[in-house]
Amino acid sequence: MSSFLFRANSVYAQYRISQIDSLLQGVNQSHNIEERVQLINKAYRISKAANYNEGTIKSLILLAGESFNTGKYEDVLKLTAKADTLTVKVNDALYPTQILILKSQVYSKLGFYTYGKQALFGAISVAKRIKERDQQHNSLGIIYASLGSNIQMSNGDKDSAFYFIRKSYSEFIQIRDSVKYSKGLNLALYNLGQVFENHKQYDSAEVYYKKATLIKDNNNITAAAFNSLGKLYYQQKKYSTAMAYYKQAEDVSIKLKNIYQLKKTYTGLSQIFDRLNDNKKATEYLQLSNKLGDSINKIEKASVKAPLSNIVGHKEETIEKNKKRTRWIISVSSILLLIVISLIFLYRYRLKKERKISEIRINELIKKIDENREYRSPQKIEELKEVVQLAIQNNPSFYLKFNDFDPDFGKKLNNLAPNLVATEVEFCAMLRLNFETKEIARYTKSSVRAVESKKYRIRKKLSIPTDQDTYLWIANI
């Protein structure tokens, strides 16, 4: 019974996901905005019911896209923020890229060009992680195209804008499934037309605008291309041709409810009828244009609050993060300072202790030395203290100083055993100073066993009889 239920639930889940994907595909095929929004909302509801995160994200992004096209910028930011919280549950860089693109377009549209540019540059690194080849090229193409538009609108740097628009075109032409991603190529062609128009190369601009209108996809770019062609022909005084293109722009803009392109269309038609001395028509279209202008102003005034609060909120969040980071740095620095101070005190304490131990050890060693030896003088005792101190510190100059203190020892040792190596001669000097095995091991950072082995090898090389003590034998050299 349980296995049957499991199979039933699996089939239900698969059916739901396939149904959602089918609905979302239908969105791209529809040219009716109300129908598209209905399909997206339906897909969103089913996705949430089925816990299909990918479907929910896709639906929110599509709704944000429709909101942008109709000038509802506040809704775009709300929908993208909602989608953004779900992207962590889906391992696909495509969705964060699309969200950043939509945000950048809102910022740029409302004049926040710097924030728009920042979002787009951030989107580039995310888009490069998209696994599917065509999706990556399409996303990068849109980003570069948006950067070109952003630069044109913000500072009018034609060369920089052209650079990004060419990069955009180079991404779109690498797409294999040109039908599925036709909007991207449509955008690239339109942007190239704008570049040539800005450089007053009108023939080239006309070619690219026409290519953009030939792609069978009635979207906002198509409407913009029709308007641009209408403007070009109007400037050439080819009024009937210009009017034909404006009429096509009107049809597409009305279907898409794109009041921005529709305003441009009505302004263009008003200018044409004015040139044709048809004052009635010219006034009629001018009034329609002004009416849409009022609507656009209201939308943008209402919409600008959302990006502003978003930007202010982001700044406040950044300031708070910086404050927390500063507090953390101060706390860590204080702890590190305390540790450093503690280590300094510990080091000084140990150094003082070692010096005290060294002094005791030196005095003990001096007592062991034969009282009849010539280096019992105060000067020699001071030299001896320095030698012993260097040995305790494992200082490389130990043997040089010892050789100055007792130059005959090294010569005699060399005569007895020429095959002794430098480290063994140094070891014999330590034995001469009566250092015990454990002390030599500690000061030379060796093991007791290693010191015993070295002592045994030296006894062999010096041919010290087995019945004689090594220390006494070396002391009597």
Residue-wise pLDDT tens digits, 91-122: 899 999 999 999 998 888 888 888 899 999 99
pLDDT digits (tens, 9 = 90+) for 413-438: 989 999 998 889 999 999 998 888 99
- Give residue 26's pLDDT: 76
Closest CA to 294 of 252, 326, 266: 266
Measure the CA–CA gap between 263 and 268, rounded to whole angstroms: 9
Structure tokens at 386: 């320095």
- Comparing CA positions, the residue from 248, 241, 277, 240 lying closest to residue 265 is 248
Is residue 21 pLDDT above 70, yes or no?
Answer: yes
DSSP per residue over 170-228, as a string? HHHTT-S-TTTTHHHHHHHHHHHHHHHHHTT-HHHHHHHHHHHHHSS--SHHHHHHHHH
Instruction: Say which residue, 186 or 238, is predicted with more confidence.
Output: 238
Of 168-182, 235-249, 353-367, 375-389, least confident by mean pLDDT is 353-367
Q: How confident is the model at residue 359 (pLDDT cuts 50, 70, 90)?
A: low
Between 255 and 229, the more confident residue is 229
- The CA distance from 63 to 60, in Å, is 5
Confidence check: pLDDT of 247 > 90? yes
User: How many other C-beta atoms are found inside a 10 Å radius of the C-beta of residue 319?
Assistant: 10
Rounded distance between C-alpha atoms, residue 164 and residue 162, angstroms? 6
- To the question of pTM greater than 0.85 for the whole model, the response is no
What pLDDT sits at residue 404?
87
Predicted local confidence at residue 280, as pLDDT: 93
pLDDT at residue 307 is higher than 50: yes
3-state DSSP of 47-78: HHHCCCHHHHHHHHHHHHHHHHHCCCHHHHHH
What pLDDT was estimated at residue 276?
92
56-93 as b/e, with b when 16 or more CB fall inside 10 Å?
Answer: bbbbbbbbbbbbbbbbbbbbbbbbbebbbeebeebeeb
Q: What is the pLDDT of residue 3?
A: 40
Average pLDDT (44-70) is: 89
Residue 123 has pLDDT above 80, yes or no: yes
Q: Quick one: which of 64, 1, 73 has its CA closest to 37? A: 64
One-letter amino acid for residue 202 of the chain: Y
What average pLDDT does range 271-298 have in this prediction?
88
pLDDT of residue 136: 94
- Domains of the chain (ranges; CATH) run 218-298 (1.25.40.10), 369-475 (no CATH)
Per-chain mean pLDDT for the chain: 82
Helix/strand/coil for 44: helix
Q: How many residues does the chain have?
A: 477
- Whole-Å CA distances, 172 to 125, 136, 167, 169: 18, 10, 9, 5
Question: What gap in Å lies between CA 344 and CA 200, rounded to an integer?
Answer: 74
The region that residue 200 occupies, defined by phi over 0 for left and psi between -120 and 50 for alpha, beta otherwise, is left
